[in-house]
Amino acid sequence: MGILDKLFGAGRGRKDQARVQQGPEIVPLADRTPIATFEARLQGVSDVNHDGSSRQAAIRRSAVGEETVLMQEPRPRGHPPVIAVWSATSGEQLGTLPSDTSGYVLLQARRHDFRSSIQELPEQEDGGVEVVLQIEMFEKQA
């Protein structure tokens, strides 16, 4: 099972796929050059995922350079947007982007594509591991 099947469900809505695409659009980036690059330190890296798995365990299985998937979490109206960060390799949630970064990415998402990967895995004072992402922003291709 691939990461996209795990995140969005395998086989659901295939009849309607031509009519309406569900979930985020996965765009091959080919040889495009990013117009902006920035870093983000993940929040919630010590939390437990909805399935009971440990984010710290998932982070310890991750590697610098590994691609990640950014996906908006459903939130009640009036709550600030949150973008969850998932490992593209294992399909496990690693944490969330800070609210200001989440807001910026969501604001730019209609006109830009994003690619994210793990840039650093620094040790915390308490023995845990943090995650620093590199996020690249690209002009959308027509």
* Alpha-carbon gap, residue 121 to 130, rounded angstroms: 5
Does the structure show a pLDDT above 80 at 14? no
Query: Is the per-residue pLDDT at 128 higher than 70?
Result: yes
Give the start-to-end residue ranges of the domains of the chain.
35-139
127 token code pair: 């023995």
Res 28 pLDDT > 60: yes
Is pLDDT at 57 greater than 60 in this prediction? yes
Q: Which residues pair with 118 in a beta bridge?
A: 133
**Which of 68, 48, 52 minimizes the C-alpha distance to 121?**
68
Q: In this predicted model, which residue has the larger pLDDT, 13 or 87?
A: 87
**Residue 25: predicted pLDDT:** 58
CATH 3.30.70.2330 fits 35-139, yes or no: yes
Q: Give CA–CA dist 130/96, Å, rounded.
A: 12
Give the per-residue pLDDT at 9: 58
Check: CB of residue 45 under 8 Å from CB of residue 52.
Answer: no
Lowest mean pLDDT among 10-24, 58-72, 104-118: 10-24
At 78 the three-state DSSP class reads coil
The pTM of this model reads: 0.78
Q: Amino acid identity of 44?
A: G
